[in-house]
Chains A and B, each alone.
Chain A
Protein backbone atom coordinates (compact mmCIF):
# COMPACT_ATOMS: atom_id res chain seq x y z
CA UNK A 1 0.00 0.00 0.00
CA UNK A 2 1.19 3.47 -0.73
CA UNK A 3 2.35 5.87 1.94
CA UNK A 4 -0.23 7.82 3.93
CA UNK A 5 -0.95 11.46 3.18
CA UNK A 6 0.87 12.66 6.27
CA UNK A 7 3.93 10.51 5.52
CA UNK A 8 4.03 11.97 2.06
CA UNK A 9 3.75 15.45 3.54
CA UNK A 10 6.75 14.69 5.75
CA UNK A 11 8.76 13.60 2.74
CA UNK A 12 7.99 16.58 0.49
CA UNK A 13 11.11 18.39 -0.67
CA UNK A 14 12.06 21.55 1.20
CA UNK A 15 14.09 23.05 -1.60
CA UNK A 16 14.14 21.92 -5.18
CA UNK A 17 12.98 23.13 -8.58
CA UNK A 18 9.30 22.59 -7.72
CA UNK A 19 9.55 24.58 -4.51
CA UNK A 20 11.47 27.36 -6.21
CA UNK A 21 8.94 27.58 -9.04
CA UNK A 22 6.06 27.71 -6.58
CA UNK A 23 7.83 30.31 -4.47
CA UNK A 24 8.37 32.40 -7.58
CA UNK A 25 4.71 32.23 -8.58
CA UNK A 26 3.54 32.86 -5.02
CA UNK A 27 5.16 36.31 -5.13
CA UNK A 28 2.27 37.25 -7.45
CA UNK A 29 -0.35 36.06 -4.98
CA UNK A 30 -1.19 38.18 -1.93
CA UNK A 31 -0.85 36.21 1.28
CA UNK A 32 2.04 34.24 -0.18
CA UNK A 33 2.71 30.60 0.42
CA UNK A 34 4.51 28.62 3.08
CA UNK A 35 6.01 25.33 2.08
CA UNK A 36 4.44 23.13 4.77
CA UNK A 37 6.47 19.92 4.92
CA UNK A 38 5.97 18.74 8.47
CA UNK A 39 2.83 16.89 9.52
CA UNK A 40 3.41 17.60 13.21
CA UNK A 41 3.71 21.33 12.58
CA UNK A 42 0.55 21.27 10.50
CA UNK A 43 -1.34 19.46 13.26
CA UNK A 44 -0.06 21.87 15.90
CA UNK A 45 -1.10 24.78 13.67
CA UNK A 46 -4.65 23.48 13.22
CA UNK A 47 -5.05 22.43 16.84
CA UNK A 48 -3.48 25.56 18.30
CA UNK A 49 -1.49 23.42 20.71
CA UNK A 50 1.66 21.33 20.40
CA UNK A 51 0.90 18.88 23.20
CA UNK A 52 2.66 15.74 21.89
CA UNK A 53 -0.10 13.43 23.10
CA UNK A 54 -2.81 15.35 21.25
CA UNK A 55 -0.66 15.55 18.13
CA UNK A 56 -0.11 11.79 18.21
CA UNK A 57 -3.86 11.22 18.61
CA UNK A 58 -4.67 13.44 15.64
CA UNK A 59 -2.04 11.71 13.61
CA UNK A 60 -3.30 8.20 14.27
CA UNK A 61 -6.88 9.30 13.55
CA UNK A 62 -5.74 10.93 10.31
CA UNK A 63 -4.00 7.72 9.27
CA UNK A 64 -7.13 5.69 10.00
CA UNK A 65 -9.23 8.09 7.90
CA UNK A 66 -6.67 7.99 5.16
CA UNK A 67 -6.76 4.19 5.00
CA UNK A 68 -10.50 4.01 4.51
CA UNK A 69 -11.63 3.75 0.91
CA UNK A 70 -14.94 5.56 1.34
CA UNK A 71 -13.39 8.71 2.71
CA UNK A 72 -11.80 9.67 -0.59
CA UNK A 73 -8.65 11.37 0.69
CA UNK A 74 -6.50 8.74 -0.98
CA UNK A 75 -8.49 8.90 -4.19
CA UNK A 76 -8.03 12.66 -4.34
CA UNK A 77 -4.29 12.18 -4.03
CA UNK A 78 -4.25 9.56 -6.76
CA UNK A 79 -6.03 12.10 -9.00
CA UNK A 80 -3.34 14.69 -8.36
CA UNK A 81 -0.71 12.03 -9.00
CA UNK A 82 -2.29 11.00 -12.28
CA UNK A 83 -2.36 14.59 -13.46
CA UNK A 84 1.21 15.09 -12.38
CA UNK A 85 2.43 11.96 -14.16
CA UNK A 86 0.67 12.98 -17.33
CA UNK A 87 2.14 16.45 -17.19
CA UNK A 88 5.63 15.05 -16.80
CA UNK A 89 5.16 12.55 -19.60
CA UNK A 90 3.79 15.15 -21.99
CA UNK A 91 6.49 17.62 -20.98
CA UNK A 92 9.17 14.98 -21.48
CA UNK A 93 7.85 14.23 -24.96
CA UNK A 94 8.00 17.86 -25.89
CA UNK A 95 11.51 18.28 -24.51
CA UNK A 96 12.49 15.28 -26.59
CA UNK A 97 10.84 16.80 -29.63
CA UNK A 98 12.74 20.05 -29.13
CA UNK A 99 16.03 18.21 -28.86
CA UNK A 100 15.24 15.89 -31.76
CA UNK A 101 14.20 18.81 -33.94
CA UNK A 102 17.75 20.13 -33.74
CA UNK A 103 19.37 16.89 -34.91
CA UNK A 104 19.28 16.37 -38.67
CA UNK A 105 18.90 12.59 -38.68
CA UNK A 106 15.99 12.31 -36.28
CA UNK A 107 14.26 15.47 -37.38
CA UNK A 108 11.32 13.50 -38.72
CA UNK A 109 10.62 12.28 -35.19
CA UNK A 110 9.71 15.78 -34.15
CA UNK A 111 6.74 15.78 -36.49
CA UNK A 112 5.38 12.72 -34.67
CA UNK A 113 4.89 14.54 -31.41
CA UNK A 114 1.30 15.68 -30.92
CA UNK A 115 0.09 19.09 -31.98
CA UNK A 116 0.80 21.00 -28.85
CA UNK A 117 -1.89 23.67 -28.57
CA UNK A 118 -5.00 21.49 -28.53
CA UNK A 119 -3.20 18.94 -26.42
CA UNK A 120 -2.20 21.65 -24.00
CA UNK A 121 -5.83 22.73 -23.83
CA UNK A 122 -6.97 19.18 -23.06
CA UNK A 123 -4.26 18.86 -20.46
CA UNK A 124 -5.51 22.04 -18.79
CA UNK A 125 -9.12 20.85 -18.91
CA UNK A 126 -8.13 17.53 -17.37
CA UNK A 127 -6.38 19.39 -14.58
CA UNK A 128 -9.45 21.50 -13.92
CA UNK A 129 -11.61 18.36 -13.99
CA UNK A 130 -9.24 16.62 -11.59
CA UNK A 131 -9.42 19.63 -9.30
CA UNK A 132 -13.22 19.43 -9.15
CA UNK A 133 -13.29 15.68 -8.61
CA UNK A 134 -10.65 15.99 -5.91
CA UNK A 135 -12.73 18.68 -4.21
CA UNK A 136 -15.75 16.41 -3.94
CA UNK A 137 -13.60 13.46 -2.87
CA UNK A 138 -11.99 15.41 -0.05
CA UNK A 139 -14.89 17.56 1.09
CA UNK A 140 -18.03 15.73 0.05
CA UNK A 141 -20.78 18.14 -0.96
CA UNK A 142 -20.76 20.61 1.92
CA UNK A 143 -23.75 22.78 2.75
CA UNK A 144 -27.46 22.33 2.17
CA UNK A 145 -27.91 24.82 -0.65
CA UNK A 146 -26.20 25.83 -3.85
CA UNK A 147 -25.18 29.09 -2.21
CA UNK A 148 -23.50 27.20 0.64
CA UNK A 149 -21.78 24.88 -1.82
CA UNK A 150 -20.61 27.86 -3.87
CA UNK A 151 -19.23 29.53 -0.76
CA UNK A 152 -17.42 26.32 0.07
CA UNK A 153 -15.86 26.18 -3.40
CA UNK A 154 -14.74 29.78 -3.19
CA UNK A 155 -13.22 29.12 0.21
CA UNK A 156 -11.32 26.14 -1.18
CA UNK A 157 -10.17 28.08 -4.22
CA UNK A 158 -8.82 30.90 -2.09
CA UNK A 159 -6.95 28.36 0.05
CA UNK A 160 -5.52 26.85 -3.12
CA UNK A 161 -4.68 30.24 -4.63
CA UNK A 162 -1.06 29.41 -5.26
CA UNK A 163 -1.91 26.14 -6.99
CA UNK A 164 -4.51 27.94 -9.07
CA UNK A 165 -2.01 30.68 -9.94
CA UNK A 166 0.48 27.98 -10.94
CA UNK A 167 -2.19 26.24 -13.00
CA UNK A 168 -3.20 29.44 -14.79
CA UNK A 169 0.39 30.52 -15.44
CA UNK A 170 2.13 27.24 -16.24
CA UNK A 171 -0.67 25.61 -18.20
CA UNK A 172 -2.54 28.47 -19.79
CA UNK A 173 -0.73 31.81 -19.98
CA UNK A 174 2.78 30.57 -20.73
CA UNK A 175 2.06 27.92 -23.39
CA UNK A 176 -1.08 29.41 -24.95
CA UNK A 177 -0.46 33.14 -24.64
CA UNK A 178 -2.17 35.91 -22.71
CA UNK A 179 -5.57 35.40 -24.32
CA UNK A 180 -5.45 31.69 -23.46
CA UNK A 181 -8.58 31.71 -21.36
CA UNK A 182 -10.65 33.18 -24.19
CA UNK A 183 -9.32 30.69 -26.73
CA UNK A 184 -9.70 27.68 -24.51
CA UNK A 185 -13.25 26.79 -25.45
CA UNK A 186 -12.50 26.99 -29.19
CA UNK A 187 -9.41 24.84 -28.71
CA UNK A 188 -11.34 22.25 -26.75
CA UNK A 189 -13.95 22.16 -29.53
CA UNK A 190 -11.31 20.81 -31.91
CA UNK A 191 -10.27 17.94 -29.68
CA UNK A 192 -10.93 14.46 -30.98
CA UNK A 193 -11.19 11.37 -28.82
CA UNK A 194 -7.95 10.19 -30.42
CA UNK A 195 -6.12 13.17 -28.95
CA UNK A 196 -7.77 12.59 -25.61
CA UNK A 197 -6.27 9.10 -25.52
CA UNK A 198 -2.80 10.46 -26.11
CA UNK A 199 -2.80 11.90 -22.61
CA UNK A 200 -1.77 9.35 -19.99
CA UNK A 201 -3.75 11.08 -17.23
CA UNK A 202 -6.97 10.53 -19.15
CA UNK A 203 -6.59 6.78 -18.77
CA UNK A 204 -6.19 7.25 -15.02
CA UNK A 205 -9.13 9.61 -14.68
CA UNK A 206 -11.58 8.09 -17.14
CA UNK A 207 -13.19 5.84 -14.55
CA UNK A 208 -13.74 8.74 -12.16
CA UNK A 209 -15.28 11.08 -14.74
CA UNK A 210 -19.07 11.00 -14.89
CA UNK A 211 -20.64 9.65 -18.07
CA UNK A 212 -19.66 6.82 -20.36
CA UNK A 213 -17.45 7.18 -23.37
CA UNK A 214 -15.06 9.81 -24.63
CA UNK A 215 -17.70 12.20 -25.92
CA UNK A 216 -19.47 12.31 -22.55
CA UNK A 217 -16.15 12.84 -20.79
CA UNK A 218 -15.18 15.60 -23.18
CA UNK A 219 -18.55 17.26 -22.64
CA UNK A 220 -18.03 17.06 -18.86
CA UNK A 221 -14.57 18.53 -19.15
CA UNK A 222 -15.80 21.37 -21.35
CA UNK A 223 -18.61 22.17 -18.93
CA UNK A 224 -16.19 22.04 -16.02
CA UNK A 225 -13.79 24.36 -17.78
CA UNK A 226 -16.66 26.66 -18.66
CA UNK A 227 -17.50 27.10 -14.96
CA UNK A 228 -13.88 27.41 -14.02
CA UNK A 229 -13.21 30.05 -16.69
CA UNK A 230 -15.67 32.43 -15.04
CA UNK A 231 -13.71 32.22 -11.82
CA UNK A 232 -10.26 32.12 -13.48
CA UNK A 233 -11.00 35.24 -15.52
CA UNK A 234 -11.74 37.18 -12.35
CA UNK A 235 -8.65 35.70 -10.69
CA UNK A 236 -6.37 36.71 -13.57
CA UNK A 237 -7.87 40.21 -13.65
CA UNK A 238 -7.63 40.63 -9.89
CA UNK A 239 -3.97 39.62 -9.67
CA UNK A 240 -3.06 41.10 -13.05
CA UNK A 241 -1.50 37.83 -14.20
CA UNK A 242 0.16 37.63 -17.59
CA UNK A 243 2.82 35.53 -19.24
CA UNK A 244 5.40 38.31 -18.88
CA UNK A 245 4.72 38.77 -15.19
CA UNK A 246 4.86 35.03 -14.60
CA UNK A 247 8.25 34.81 -16.30
CA UNK A 248 9.56 37.72 -14.26
CA UNK A 249 8.27 36.20 -11.03
CA UNK A 250 9.87 32.85 -11.86
CA UNK A 251 13.16 34.54 -12.72
CA UNK A 252 13.43 35.88 -9.18
CA UNK A 253 13.83 32.34 -7.85
CA UNK A 254 14.91 30.19 -10.80
CA UNK A 255 17.41 32.58 -12.34
CA UNK A 256 17.38 34.29 -15.75
CA UNK A 257 15.56 32.61 -18.62
CA UNK A 258 16.54 33.31 -22.22
CA UNK A 259 14.16 31.06 -24.14
CA UNK A 260 10.57 31.61 -25.17
CA UNK A 261 7.55 31.31 -22.92
CA UNK A 262 6.46 28.07 -24.50
CA UNK A 263 9.83 26.49 -23.80
CA UNK A 264 9.64 27.67 -20.21
CA UNK A 265 6.24 25.98 -19.88
CA UNK A 266 7.64 22.77 -21.38
CA UNK A 267 10.61 22.90 -19.05
CA UNK A 268 8.38 23.40 -16.00
CA UNK A 269 6.04 20.61 -17.11
CA UNK A 270 8.88 18.17 -17.54
CA UNK A 271 10.91 18.92 -14.45
CA UNK A 272 8.59 20.10 -11.67
CA UNK A 273 5.86 18.41 -9.61
CA UNK A 274 3.83 21.48 -8.67
CA UNK A 275 0.55 19.62 -8.83
CA UNK A 276 1.42 16.68 -6.63
CA UNK A 277 3.32 18.95 -4.23
CA UNK A 278 0.52 21.42 -3.54
CA UNK A 279 -2.05 18.63 -3.79
CA UNK A 280 -0.50 16.70 -0.91
CA UNK A 281 -0.40 19.88 1.17
CA UNK A 282 -4.03 20.75 0.48
CA UNK A 283 -5.37 17.25 1.17
CA UNK A 284 -3.25 16.93 4.31
CA UNK A 285 -4.67 20.17 5.71
CA UNK A 286 -8.29 19.11 5.22
CA UNK A 287 -7.52 15.65 6.59
CA UNK A 288 -5.91 17.09 9.70
CA UNK A 289 -8.80 19.53 10.21
CA UNK A 290 -11.15 16.58 10.22
CA UNK A 291 -8.99 14.37 12.43
CA UNK A 292 -8.55 17.19 14.95
CA UNK A 293 -12.32 17.55 15.14
CA UNK A 294 -12.86 13.84 15.68
CA UNK A 295 -10.31 12.90 18.34
Chain B
Protein backbone atom coordinates (compact mmCIF):
# COMPACT_ATOMS: atom_id res chain seq x y z
CA UNK B 1 0.00 0.00 0.00
CA UNK B 2 2.65 2.43 1.02
CA UNK B 3 4.45 1.53 -2.17
CA UNK B 4 1.38 2.41 -4.23
CA UNK B 5 1.10 5.63 -2.32
CA UNK B 6 4.69 6.51 -3.15
CA UNK B 7 4.07 5.78 -6.82
CA UNK B 8 0.94 7.89 -6.69
CA UNK B 9 2.71 10.84 -5.11
CA UNK B 10 5.57 10.51 -7.59
CA UNK B 11 3.25 10.54 -10.57
CA UNK B 12 1.31 13.45 -9.14
CA UNK B 13 4.49 15.46 -8.73
CA UNK B 14 5.55 14.62 -12.26
CA UNK B 15 2.18 15.66 -13.67
CA UNK B 16 2.34 18.87 -11.66
CA UNK B 17 5.81 19.67 -12.95
CA UNK B 18 4.84 19.10 -16.56
CA UNK B 19 1.68 21.13 -16.17
CA UNK B 20 3.59 23.90 -14.42
CA UNK B 21 6.20 23.92 -17.15
CA UNK B 22 3.58 24.43 -19.82
CA UNK B 23 1.73 27.08 -17.86
CA UNK B 24 4.60 29.16 -16.52
CA UNK B 25 7.57 28.75 -18.82
CA UNK B 26 7.50 31.03 -21.85
CA UNK B 27 6.89 28.35 -24.45
CA UNK B 28 4.87 30.79 -26.44
CA UNK B 29 7.99 32.51 -27.67
CA UNK B 30 9.08 29.25 -29.29
CA UNK B 31 6.05 29.15 -31.50
CA UNK B 32 6.41 30.49 -35.04
CA UNK B 33 4.98 33.89 -35.92
CA UNK B 34 6.60 35.76 -33.05
CA UNK B 35 8.83 37.94 -35.16
CA UNK B 36 8.73 39.27 -38.70
CA UNK B 37 9.64 36.53 -41.16
CA UNK B 38 10.43 34.27 -38.19
CA UNK B 39 13.91 35.72 -37.98
CA UNK B 40 15.02 35.37 -34.36
CA UNK B 41 15.15 38.65 -32.49
CA UNK B 42 18.75 37.96 -31.54
CA UNK B 43 19.82 38.13 -35.16
CA UNK B 44 18.74 41.78 -35.26
CA UNK B 45 20.76 44.63 -33.83
CA UNK B 46 18.85 46.28 -31.02
CA UNK B 47 17.46 49.72 -31.75
CA UNK B 48 19.19 51.16 -28.67
CA UNK B 49 22.52 50.91 -30.50
CA UNK B 50 21.20 53.16 -33.27
CA UNK B 51 20.05 56.07 -31.11
CA UNK B 52 23.44 57.70 -30.62
CA UNK B 53 24.19 57.58 -34.35
CA UNK B 54 21.42 60.00 -35.30
CA UNK B 55 22.51 63.48 -36.39
CA UNK B 56 22.48 66.08 -33.66
CA UNK B 57 19.86 68.76 -34.32
CA UNK B 58 20.86 72.26 -35.34
CA UNK B 59 19.77 75.37 -33.48
CA UNK B 60 16.01 75.79 -33.54
CA UNK B 61 15.52 72.13 -34.35
CA UNK B 62 14.63 69.25 -32.08
CA UNK B 63 15.07 65.52 -32.46
CA UNK B 64 12.33 63.49 -30.80
CA UNK B 65 12.72 59.72 -30.72
CA UNK B 66 9.40 58.07 -31.48
CA UNK B 67 9.95 54.34 -31.86
CA UNK B 68 12.61 51.94 -30.74
CA UNK B 69 12.28 48.23 -31.34
CA UNK B 70 14.58 45.34 -32.10
CA UNK B 71 16.31 46.25 -35.36
CA UNK B 72 14.67 49.63 -35.67
CA UNK B 73 14.88 53.14 -34.35
CA UNK B 74 13.02 56.21 -35.53
CA UNK B 75 13.02 59.89 -34.66
CA UNK B 76 11.21 62.99 -35.81
CA UNK B 77 13.10 66.10 -36.73
CA UNK B 78 11.02 69.06 -35.61
CA UNK B 79 11.41 72.74 -36.36
CA UNK B 80 9.28 74.62 -33.85
CA UNK B 81 6.12 72.54 -33.65
CA UNK B 82 6.27 71.27 -37.25
CA UNK B 83 7.59 67.85 -38.12
CA UNK B 84 10.14 68.37 -40.90
CA UNK B 85 11.34 64.81 -41.45
CA UNK B 86 11.22 61.24 -40.21
CA UNK B 87 14.71 59.85 -39.63
CA UNK B 88 15.22 56.15 -39.14
CA UNK B 89 17.76 53.36 -39.04
CA UNK B 90 16.61 49.80 -39.60
CA UNK B 91 18.26 46.42 -39.78
CA UNK B 92 17.30 44.95 -43.17
CA UNK B 93 17.86 41.39 -41.94
CA UNK B 94 14.12 41.18 -41.29
CA UNK B 95 13.16 42.75 -44.63
CA UNK B 96 15.56 41.33 -47.24
CA UNK B 97 13.43 42.63 -50.10
CA UNK B 98 14.30 46.20 -49.20
CA UNK B 99 17.90 45.53 -50.27
CA UNK B 100 16.91 44.94 -53.88
CA UNK B 101 16.34 48.57 -54.68
CA UNK B 102 20.01 49.32 -54.05
CA UNK B 103 21.36 46.78 -56.56
CA UNK B 104 21.21 49.08 -59.56
CA UNK B 105 21.88 52.26 -57.67
CA UNK B 106 24.67 54.33 -59.20
CA UNK B 107 24.66 57.08 -56.62
CA UNK B 108 27.00 56.86 -53.67
CA UNK B 109 27.10 58.77 -50.42
CA UNK B 110 30.16 58.22 -48.25
CA UNK B 111 30.71 55.31 -50.63
CA UNK B 112 27.48 53.52 -49.66
CA UNK B 113 24.68 53.07 -52.21
CA UNK B 114 21.97 55.74 -52.18
CA UNK B 115 18.42 55.57 -53.57
CA UNK B 116 15.53 58.03 -53.80
CA UNK B 117 12.07 56.55 -53.24
CA UNK B 118 9.29 58.70 -54.56
CA UNK B 119 9.59 62.44 -54.14
CA UNK B 120 10.13 62.62 -50.38
CA UNK B 121 12.24 59.67 -49.28
CA UNK B 122 15.96 58.93 -49.57
CA UNK B 123 17.60 55.77 -48.33
CA UNK B 124 21.19 54.70 -47.77
CA UNK B 125 22.31 51.09 -47.34
CA UNK B 126 25.24 50.91 -44.94
CA UNK B 127 27.44 47.81 -44.67
CA UNK B 128 24.89 45.90 -46.73
CA UNK B 129 22.78 45.60 -43.63
CA UNK B 130 21.53 48.90 -42.19
CA UNK B 131 19.09 51.10 -44.03
CA UNK B 132 19.23 54.75 -43.10
CA UNK B 133 16.24 56.67 -44.35
CA UNK B 134 15.02 60.26 -44.37
CA UNK B 135 11.39 60.92 -45.26
CA UNK B 136 10.35 64.56 -45.71
CA UNK B 137 7.14 65.50 -43.92
CA UNK B 138 4.78 68.46 -44.07
CA UNK B 139 6.06 70.96 -46.64
CA UNK B 140 8.64 68.47 -47.78
CA UNK B 141 12.38 68.57 -48.42
CA UNK B 142 14.31 68.56 -51.66
CA UNK B 143 16.72 65.74 -52.31
CA UNK B 144 19.78 67.85 -51.44
CA UNK B 145 18.45 68.57 -47.96
CA UNK B 146 17.68 64.90 -47.47
CA UNK B 147 21.11 63.82 -48.62
CA UNK B 148 22.69 66.35 -46.27
CA UNK B 149 20.72 64.84 -43.41
CA UNK B 150 21.78 61.33 -44.42
CA UNK B 151 25.36 62.48 -44.43
CA UNK B 152 25.00 63.81 -40.89
CA UNK B 153 24.34 60.31 -39.52
CA UNK B 154 27.36 58.62 -37.93
CA UNK B 155 27.64 56.16 -40.79
CA UNK B 156 31.08 54.80 -39.89
CA UNK B 157 30.01 53.68 -36.43
CA UNK B 158 26.87 52.21 -37.94
CA UNK B 159 28.91 50.09 -40.35
CA UNK B 160 30.92 48.82 -37.40
CA UNK B 161 27.78 47.33 -35.88
CA UNK B 162 27.65 44.75 -38.63
CA UNK B 163 29.21 41.45 -37.54
CA UNK B 164 29.22 40.27 -41.15
CA UNK B 165 32.25 42.48 -41.74
CA UNK B 166 34.17 40.11 -39.49
CA UNK B 167 35.49 37.78 -42.28
CA UNK B 168 37.60 40.66 -43.58
CA UNK B 169 39.59 40.47 -40.35
CA UNK B 170 42.50 38.09 -39.79
CA UNK B 171 41.30 34.77 -38.49
CA UNK B 172 42.56 35.14 -34.93
CA UNK B 173 40.71 38.36 -34.29
CA UNK B 174 37.49 37.37 -35.90
CA UNK B 175 35.79 36.35 -32.71
CA UNK B 176 36.47 39.71 -31.11
CA UNK B 177 34.96 41.84 -33.79
CA UNK B 178 32.92 44.72 -32.46
CA UNK B 179 29.31 44.49 -33.39
CA UNK B 180 29.29 41.23 -31.52
CA UNK B 181 27.60 43.25 -28.86
CA UNK B 182 24.60 42.99 -31.09
CA UNK B 183 24.42 39.28 -30.40
CA UNK B 184 23.44 37.54 -27.23
CA UNK B 185 26.32 36.41 -25.05
CA UNK B 186 27.64 33.01 -25.97
CA UNK B 187 26.34 33.21 -29.49
CA UNK B 188 28.71 33.15 -32.40
CA UNK B 189 27.92 35.47 -35.29
CA UNK B 190 26.31 32.53 -37.03
CA UNK B 191 23.88 34.27 -39.27
CA UNK B 192 25.76 35.42 -42.35
CA UNK B 193 23.92 37.67 -44.68
CA UNK B 194 23.97 36.97 -48.37
CA UNK B 195 26.47 39.44 -49.78
CA UNK B 196 25.80 40.19 -53.38
CA UNK B 197 28.38 42.93 -53.81
CA UNK B 198 31.27 41.74 -51.78
CA UNK B 199 33.94 43.82 -53.31
CA UNK B 200 31.81 46.41 -51.74
CA UNK B 201 32.13 49.60 -50.00
CA UNK B 202 34.01 48.74 -46.88
CA UNK B 203 37.35 48.98 -48.62
CA UNK B 204 36.42 52.32 -50.12
CA UNK B 205 35.01 53.46 -46.83
CA UNK B 206 38.47 53.96 -45.45
CA UNK B 207 39.33 57.33 -46.93
CA UNK B 208 36.25 58.71 -45.25
CA UNK B 209 37.67 59.41 -41.88
CA UNK B 210 36.06 62.74 -41.38
CA UNK B 211 34.43 61.72 -38.09
CA UNK B 212 37.05 61.69 -35.45
CA UNK B 213 36.13 60.22 -32.12
CA UNK B 214 33.16 57.89 -32.35
CA UNK B 215 34.32 56.09 -35.46
CA UNK B 216 37.64 55.02 -33.99
CA UNK B 217 36.39 51.58 -33.22
CA UNK B 218 35.01 51.18 -36.69
CA UNK B 219 38.28 52.04 -38.31
CA UNK B 220 40.14 49.72 -36.03
CA UNK B 221 38.18 46.90 -37.57
CA UNK B 222 38.33 48.10 -41.08
CA UNK B 223 42.06 48.75 -41.21
CA UNK B 224 43.25 45.17 -41.74
CA UNK B 225 40.92 44.88 -44.68
CA UNK B 226 42.71 47.58 -46.63
Contacts and interface: CB of A to CB of B under 8 A. Distances in A.
Among the interface residues B62, B69, B75, which one has the most CB atoms of the partner chain A within 10 A? B69
A46 interface: yes
B155 to A, nearest CB: 17
A68 B65 contact: no
Interface string A127-165: 000000000001111111000110110011000000000
Interface stretch (A78-86, A187-195, A285-293): A285-293
B68 A142 contact: yes
B33 A51 contact: no
B72 A151 contact: no
B34 interface: yes
Interface string B54-68: 000000001011111
B36 A49 contact: no
B121 to A, nearest CB: 6
A51 B92 CA distance: 22
Contacts of A67: 33, 36
Given A48-B118, A54-B117, A70 B41 contact: yes
B76 A155 contact: yes
Contact of B33 (A69, A144, A290, A294): A69
Interface residues of A, number: 34
Contacts of B120: 47-49
B135 A139 contact: no
Given A49-B119, A294-B90, A70 B34 contact: yes
A48 B136 contact: yes
Contacts of B92: 294
A291 to B, nearest CB: 9
A186 interface: no
B67 A49 contact: no
Given A49-B119, A293-B88, A68 B35 contact: yes
Given A48-B140, A292-B135, A294-B98, A155 B66 contact: yes
B70 interface: yes
Contact of B47 (A54, A140, A286): A140
Interface string A253-288: 000000000000000000000000000000000100
A70 B52 CA distance: 24
Contact of B98 (A68, A151, A290, A295): A295
A103 interface: no
B37 interface: yes
B136 A143 contact: no
A172 interface: no
Interface string B109-132: 000000001111100000000010
A49 B121 contact: yes
Contacts of B69: 71, 140, 290
B157 interface: no
12 contacts: A49-B117, A140-B69, A142-B51, A142-B74, A144-B51, A152-B64, A155-B64, A155-B66, A286-B66, A289-B86, A292-B135, A294-B98
Interface of A: 46-49, 51, 54, 61, 64-65, 67-71, 138-144, 148-149, 151-152, 155-156, 286, 289-290, 292-295
Interface of B: 28, 33-37, 41, 47-48, 51-52, 62, 64-70, 72-76, 86, 88, 90, 92, 94-95, 97-98, 117-121, 131, 133, 135-137, 140
